[in-house]
Structure 1
Amino acid sequence: MYNSTVEELCFLHTNLSAEDIKRIKELVANLQLIADINKANVFIDCPTKVGKHAIVVAEAAPSTVKSVYEKPVVGKFAYEAFEPSVFFTLRTGKPMFENRALTQEGKTVDQSVVPIRGMDNHVIGTLIMEKDITELVQRQQKMEALSEATEALSGILMGLAENRPIIPEMIEESIFFLDQDGKILYCNPSGTNLIQEMDEEGSWIGNSLVYYFPVIGAILEASDELIVQEVKMLNKVFQVKKIELLQQEKTTGTFVIFKNITELREKERELIVKSVAIHEIHHRVKNNLQTVASLLRLQMRRGLPEESKVHFVESLNRITSIASVYEIILSGSSVDDVDLYKLIEKIGNTLVLEAEQENKQISITYSGTHSQIQSNKAVSVALVVNELIQNCVKHAFKTIHHGKIEVLFHQKENYMEIQVIDNGEGYSPKSKSSLGLDIVKMMIEHDLSGLFSIERAKTGTIATVKFPLQGEEVQL
């Protein structure tokens, strides 16, 4: 605020003398410093000529904190209905400190007003300082509401008649309400039964809870207002919750809740044991399958009739496809779920690699979502896809030594669709049924409750497998 503006406002709206205005201007020179030091908005209000109102002739917003006001107020009139402290000081010359007020922008402020006196000691204006305390008021209101709720709850519990329990008997948790010294003021029927397990007789109201359950001593002594911790006592496992009730930042009482989680922890332990056992079974199945595959390879190396060799290769591929299911299970975090995409990718890459050894240049690609399926379904899917890809390698590229196979995954609502597409010679419906396709049809219809179709494409063949993920039948 420039002094020239202050002087103009005073001459235009007030009866202040030249000496009075000079005094006002001297204060204005230090107004910004006052605002910064006090972290508050500072104003100078002077009475108008008619004496019924006051006018803001100067203001300074602090640079050290956020300003209370978003818009400037210099040149605006102040009315007694909204600024009673300002007019009290103008009339009486007495200061007003830390008076709570509401600004025109709806913010709650802590307002202090001191008189500004002229040469003959009469009041010529007021120096006003305002600090935003909106958040402080909100916190105080929340604390007051919390204190009232705490006081009411504490009163109910401490004045509780023994024959009218506030905590219903159906609640399984053992609930204790303690005073500031940790002595029992109330416990529900479940809590009574828990103490009776200690073979204690007589009344325990007024006794220390730690006396009955020493293991919770550290929990009660901790300074935290809320603690949840597991403890072992009475040959059981309990989840213990400590909740302190505060009133005016002082503890007025403490809730201690015991929840018996022994059965839950026992079931978790059993699940872990079962998971370990299932993991070991999967490991042994995989090893057994690899052993069988090794025996077949050994027999093939020792020599076979040429007409039998293809059958050994097909059997070997089927066994390694099943083994792949267990390899993926063992490499993952789940003991019963398999990443279908990863499984098919492993099987397909192995079959195409074997084809390269027969001087066939075949590429294979995969696209679609990574879906998890149960291991029992995965075994059947592994055999089905093994036969379809093997069928491509064996028949689609029988006379062609280079080609492409695509494997597409489509998860639609509650079922999975897998397509194996090649650009080979093309399927002929008149072709003699093979053992591989018979295996596919049997697995799809009986093990997966799904549907299978194979058809000739413009270039090559499209084989489609469709099966439910949850067991219900699907329709193409």
Structure 2
Amino acid sequence: MVYATWWTHKNNEKVLIAWMLVTAGLFLYFMANFLYFLLRDYLGLISLPSLVDTLYIVAYPLLMLGILALMEKPYRLKLKSFLDAIVVSVSVMFIIWFPLIWPVIEPSQPDTTSMIFSISYLFLDLLLLLVTQVVLFSKKKKISIIPLFLVSLGIFSQVVGDMVFAYQVVVSNLFYLWLANTFYTLTIIFIALGVLSYINNVDIDIKNKLSFYSVLSPYNDWISYLPLVLVLFTYSLLIITTPDTALIWGVGIIVVLVILRQVIFLNDLKRAQITLKKNKEVISERKKQLDFITSNMLDIISESDVNGVLKYVSPSTQQLLGYSPQELVGHSLYELIHPDDREKVRQIIEKSSNVTEDLRVESRLKTAEGKYIWIETTGKPVVDEKGFRGFIYSGRDITEQKKSAEYIKKSLEEKEALLREIHHRVNNNLQVISSLLSLQSDNVRDPRDHELFVESQNRVRTMAMIHEKLYQSDKFNSINFSDYLKTLINRLIYDYSQELGHIDLELDIENVDLNIETSVPCGLIINELVSNSLKHAFPHGRNGKIIVKFHKIKDKYVLMVGDNGIGPLEKSVLESSKKLGFNLVKSLIKQLDASLEILESEGTLYRITFAELTYQKRF
């Protein structure tokens, strides 16, 4: 107890005073016991009243005050349970005391004072037990119920031990002495267990344990009849014994307690009936409201068991599917699902039930008219202490959404086909223009004029290749620019191959997509610069190298085009503003909002930096 008080000082200050009072009371009680055995067994001094009696009488109030201090405001009792416990405790004491112990003790008392002291300790024990039960059955306590319950058992053992010890004093017998010591030992054990359970914060929901017992044994609720049985047995003492005033008063008090208990019980029963009636009215009103909501809602709410058999279907199924709830309950939900969707739905439900996760599935359900409508169903698995026991579903008609989605899909497919056809026709038209320029160039005799026709033909073909890539691609607003560049450069080298020596390609092109707004001007720039290198950088069949690099750096693109040719000659020719090619490059760079740098290198190297153009709405 001293350790418990110290522990309370460190961890639970609000019950420190209570534990100090209890510890002080137990200390005085221990000292009284020690002095009693010292005076009686070693010194042979027995007097009434004595110092021992004083210590005992002081100890009991301290214990009671300490236990009462464990109650918490507001002070409210569970009266019915409290009265049951009092009736049981007092009845057991009377059954043991009056027929067994009191007939032996009463003749042995020399005077009234001796008799009062003989029964005063029993009275104080009963009063202490009463106080403990007051705290035990209070609605708010500062500590858990287990320590109080164990202390109550300890005090009960103390009362029984005192009665047996009083009997043993008159009828000296080792068995009764051993029995009294056994009950005293149980008192110490129960109180020690109560202290340990308090320190270790042990708490058990006794109410749930009793509920579990009543579920297991619904026909063995004999405990509720125990107070009545004990009262009847106590009342029979008036018949089987010679009643004295104490017994008559005791039985009268017990009868009054039982009557009070029944009054409280009837009052509680009346209040429970009133509450039950109100609850039934609330439930009925809510049921009507729920029926009204589920009858007029657009969704279907249903519940199925583990086998997919419907246990509940909301009334809204009448207006959605044409079935009444009674027609569907007891039938498998798979009976309504379109044959082509059943296996898919079954697999999704099995997977969800195995991992107890929510599901979402779209399927066709059969209406009462034999038609099928699309329903989007969400399901939540129901799991209790016994495991998985079914699903709760919410279904919504999505037939119109499905039709709209199908229409949009068909419309997109038509537009994709139209765009593909447009790019294809643009490519064909540009190829026709390129062919016309090629045919016309065959009739031109002047080499300079023939070169102009070839350059125009390459420019048209450069744009045609973009549209060719577009209608071959799954995307209609961008192309794979790296693939386009490789095709374009190889085609240019092939066109000029008759006039060139051996030309190597140094290509370092990142795999990126560019939209058509950026691809066309960028392709034309590369066409002009590569064509210019092929025409001017390698005179007289000189061998050389064409350099093309293309990379994305953050949100910018860097294009480098050059050669290892003669360099200055090429630069002097290109920088002439009278050249259409260079003017076209300057115009395209302006269109791209790009920057152009001519870098010093072995030949000539251009670096163009730009960002991808955004689509500008035409209307």
TM-score range, shorter chain: 0.5 to 0.7
- Among candidates 274, 282, 285, match of residue 415 of structure 2: 274
**Take 1:469 and 1:173, find their aligned partners in 2: how far apart are those partners?**
49
Q: Deviations over 1:312-348 (max 9, x none)?
A: 1001111111122123234433233211111111111
In the other structure, the counterpart of 1:365 is 506
**Take 2:614 and 2:304, find their aligned partners in 1: how far apart are those partners?**
58
Q: Deviations over 1:401-443 (max 9, x none)?
A: 3221111112011121111021222323863442112222222
In the other structure, the counterpart of 2:589 is 444
**Take 1:255 and 1:162, find their aligned partners in 2: how far apart are those partners?**
21
Is the counterpart of residue 455 in structure 1 residue 598 in structure 2? Answer: yes
**Take 2:416 and 2:372, find their aligned partners in 1: how far apart are those partners?**
26
**Take 1:375 and 1:455, find their aligned partners in 2: how far apart are those partners?**
26
In the other structure, the counterpart of 2:535 is 394
**Take 1:349 and 1:456, find their aligned partners in 2: how far apart are those partners?**
24
**Take 2:320 and 2:395, find their aligned partners in 1: how far apart are those partners?**
16
In the other structure, the counterpart of 1:255 is 393
Secondary structure of residue in 2 paired with 1:370:
coil
**Take 1:240 and 1:304, find their aligned partners in 2: how far apart are those partners?**
77
Is the counterpart of residue 297 in structure 1 residue 297 in structure 2? Answer: no
2:575–2:582 contact (8 Å) kept in structure 1: no
**Take 2:375 and 2:332, find their aligned partners in 1: how far apart are those partners?**
15
**Take 1:164 and 1:218, find their aligned partners in 2: how far apart are those partners?**
31
In the other structure, the counterpart of 2:60 is none
Secondary structure of residue in 2 paired with 1:471:
coil
Task: Map 1:194-233 onto structure 2 (within 5 A).
Answer: 196-198=319-321, 215=338, 218=342, 224=350, 226=352, 229-232=361-364
User: Identity of aligned pairs, percent?
Assistant: 22
Structure number, greater radius of gyration: 2
1:184–1:204 contact (8 Å) kept in structure 2: no
2:363–2:376 contact (8 Å) kept in structure 1: yes
**Take 1:162 and 1:469, find their aligned partners in 2: how far apart are those partners?**
64
**Take 1:211 and 1:367, find their aligned partners in 2: how far apart are those partners?**
60
- 1:328 to 1:253, Cα distance in 2 relative to 1, 3 A: closer
Read off the aligned partner of 1:401 and give its amino acid letter. R
Secondary structure of residue in 2 paired with 1:257:
strand
Range with greater deviation from structure 2 (383-392 or 319-328): 319-328
- Shift in Å, 1:371: 0.6
In the other structure, the counterpart of 2:303 is 178
Q: Which has the higher strand share?
A: 1
- Shift in Å, 1:237: 4.3
In the other structure, the counterpart of 1:354 is 495
Q: Deviations over 1:241-274 (max 9, x none)?
A: 5565456466434425346242344333332222
Task: Map 1:74-223 onto structure 2 (within 5 A).
Answer: 161=287, 163=289, 174-180=299-305, 182-183=309-310, 185=312, 187=314, 192=316, 196-198=319-321, 215=338, 218=342
- 1:205 to 1:409, Cα distance in 2 relative to 1, 3 A: same
Secondary structure of residue in 2 paired with 1:469:
coil
Secondary structure of residue in 2 paired with 1:357:
helix
**Take 2:476 and 2:378, find their aligned partners in 1: how far apart are those partners?**
34
- 1:468 to 1:430, Cα distance in 2 relative to 1, 3 A: closer
Q: Which has the higher helix share?
A: 2
In the other structure, the counterpart of 1:471 is 614
- 1:281 to 1:334, Cα distance in 2 relative to 1, 3 A: same
TM-score relative to the length of structure 2: 0.42
**Take 1:160 and 1:268, find their aligned partners in 2: how far apart are those partners?**
45
Read off the aligned partner of 1:414 and give its amino acid letter. D
1:355–1:362 contact (8 Å) kept in structure 2: no
Read off the aligned partner of 1:297 and give its amino acid letter. S
1:418–1:465 contact (8 Å) kept in structure 2: yes
Read off the aligned partner of 2:312 and give its amino acid letter. L
- Shift in Å, 1:359: 3.3
List alignment gaps of at least 5 residues for structure 2: 1-284, 353-358, 366-370
Secondary structure of residue in 1 paired with 2:505:
strand
List alignment gaps of at least 5 residues for structure 1: 1-158
**Take 1:198 and 1:400, find their aligned partners in 2: how far apart are those partners?**
83
TM-score relative to the length of structure 1: 0.54
2:594–2:610 contact (8 Å) kept in structure 1: yes
**Take 1:380 and 1:288, find their aligned partners in 2: how far apart are those partners?**
19
Q: Deviations over 1:107-146 (max 9, x none)?
A: xxxxxxxxxxxxxxxxxxxxxxxxxxxxxxxxxxxxxxxx
Secondary structure of residue in 1 paired with 2:560:
strand
Read off the aligned partner of 1:178 and give its amino acid letter. E
Task: Map 1:61-80 onto structure 2 (within 5 A).
Answer: none
1:414–1:470 contact (8 Å) kept in structure 2: no
Is the counterpart of residue 416 in structure 1 residue 557 in structure 2? Answer: yes
2:499–2:541 contact (8 Å) kept in structure 1: no
**Take 2:334 and 2:362, find their aligned partners in 1: how far apart are those partners?**
19
In the other structure, the counterpart of 1:319 is 460
Read off the aligned partner of 2:512 and give its amino acid letter. S
Range with greater deviation from structure 2 (293-302 or 426-435): 426-435
Q: Alpha carbon RMSD of aligned pairs, Å? A: 3.9
1:452–1:463 contact (8 Å) kept in structure 2: no
**Take 1:399 and 1:457, find their aligned partners in 2: how far apart are those partners?**
23
Q: Deviations over 1:213-234 (max 9, x none)?
A: 5538946777735476543567
- Shift in Å, 1:296: 2.1
Read off the aligned partner of 1:467 and give its amino acid letter. F
How many aligned positions are there? 304
Secondary structure of residue in 1 paired with 2:485:
helix
**Take 2:410 and 2:324, find their aligned partners in 1: how far apart are those partners?**
35
2:563–2:604 contact (8 Å) kept in structure 1: yes
- Shift in Å, 1:161: 4.0
- 1:174 to 1:402, Cα distance in 2 relative to 1, 3 A: farther
- Shift in Å, 1:353: 1.6
- 1:211 to 1:386, Cα distance in 2 relative to 1, 3 A: closer
Read off the aligned partner of 1:332 and give its amino acid letter. S
Range with greater deviation from structure 2 (227-236 or 368-377): 227-236
- Shift in Å, 1:453: 1.4
Range with greater deviation from structure 2 (178-187 or 341-350): 178-187
- 1:349 to 1:178, Cα distance in 2 relative to 1, 3 A: same
